[in-house]
Amino acid sequence: MKRLLLILITLLSLATAVQAGGAAEGIWIDVRGAAEYQQGHKDGAINIPHTEIGQRIQSITTDKAATIHLYCRSGNRAGIAKAALMRMGYSNVINEGGFTDLQ
């Protein structure tokens, strides 16, 4: 049930990102935990915890050249997620740092 809820949240977040023009600016992924995401996040950002990025990224995009923006609280988890995506062949991944930096 929890996994189904996470999938539903991801799909809703992706739909919101596309409606908000997310396709033009790239894909925004909040790699913090679900509780942190619920406390506030960038409009249109999809929540995929950094520990799950490798398993879940293909449900978001299989385009290895897609622009993917990552952020977390301080930039550390975004850096870990970026390294994982780069190892998987994603070539346009940007660590945007912390959520407060984006505000």
Could you write out the DSSP letters of every residue in 60-97?
Answer: T---TTS-EEEEESSSHHHHHHHHHHHHTT---EEEEE
Number of domains in the chain: 1
Q: pLDDT above 70 covers what percent of the chain?
A: 77
**Which residues constitute the domain of residue 82?**
2-102
Q: What are phi and psi of 33, to 5 degrees?
A: -70, 165
CATH code: domain of residue 80: 3.40.250.10
Known active-site residue 72: yes
Whether residue 46 contacts residue 13, with contact meaning beta carbons closer than 8 Å, is answered with: yes
The residue from 29, 45, 68, 72 that is catalytic is: 72
Whether residue 30 contacts residue 9, with contact meaning beta carbons closer than 8 Å, is answered with: no
C-alpha 57/C-alpha 45 separation (Å) is: 13
pTM, entire model: 0.78
Please write the tens of the pLDDT for every residue from 8-32. 555 555 554 444 444 448 999 999 9
